[in-house]
Structure 1
């Protein structure tokens, strides 16, 4: 796990830097910076809109006595998308924008669900029922 974190915190910034330098050499530094700022701003706005919509759905489900499990996962993924979009870089912006597309987010939720089910079956996560 420590190795994965180390690689994540070193490789991703290095890849971001490489991509920014490469793109900047083709279209110029100012245009590259403008792209990063615009994708961050548009993505943050989209994340805010989807976050508010999801929170309203959560409130409606709770008020009707239903458990908003899917909506809570959506809210967490929208938060992650917003954080990725606020991180400067093109790779993180693409990942963040992808999480804001509902079909892509649903596919990612299915992947997470399968991963969690595997962890539970293997005993890495214990479920305690009250």
Structure 2
């Protein structure tokens, strides 16, 4: 892993494990001060119930679309991306707090999911084309710097 890549990964992990929980606590305290502690708890429970219903509905739709694409012989790229986004959005909805719930709902709703799908496709394309990932290991062949073993294939007739 390159030093730049390692530094970026550390910042992302820092944001996920430090900044997001602090933002959640801040928002919970602010909401609690405005509407009261008990109403904040009621709102969190209601938010979880609505989120669970939405995950079940959109997850079922994504699963059905995936099955239809596979049965018709189409490449299910959009359906797989939708399924992944609903899964990540559902995971965000399971964590208590309003900030993660807002991001989760944005990934789950069919109105906002195409934008998230385009961002996901752009990220995956950039990773594939930049050569960063587990698939960019040194491969043998001309110009790759890897070793090439010359040999001969012998077919003995067995299947």
TM-score by length of 2: 0.74
CA positional deviation for 1:7: 2.6
The CA RMSD measured in Å over matched residues stands at: 1.5
Matching residue of 2:141: none
Matches within 5 A, 1:73-84: 73-84=81-92
RCO higher in 1 or 2 (8 Å CA, sep ≥ 6)? 1
Cα distance in 2 for partners of 1:70, 1:17 equals 35
TM-score by length of 1: 0.89
Q: Is it true that 1:28 corresponds to 2:36 in the alignment?
A: yes
Structure with higher helix content: 1
Cα distance in 1 for partners of 2:68, 2:18 equals 42
Structure 2, unaligned stretches of length 5 or more?
1-8, 137-159
Q: Is it true that 1:64 corresponds to 2:72 in the alignment?
A: yes
Give 4+ residue runs of structure 1 displaced > 6 Å after superposition: none
Structure 1, unaligned stretches of length 5 or more?
none
The number of aligned residues is 127
Matching residue of 1:119: 127
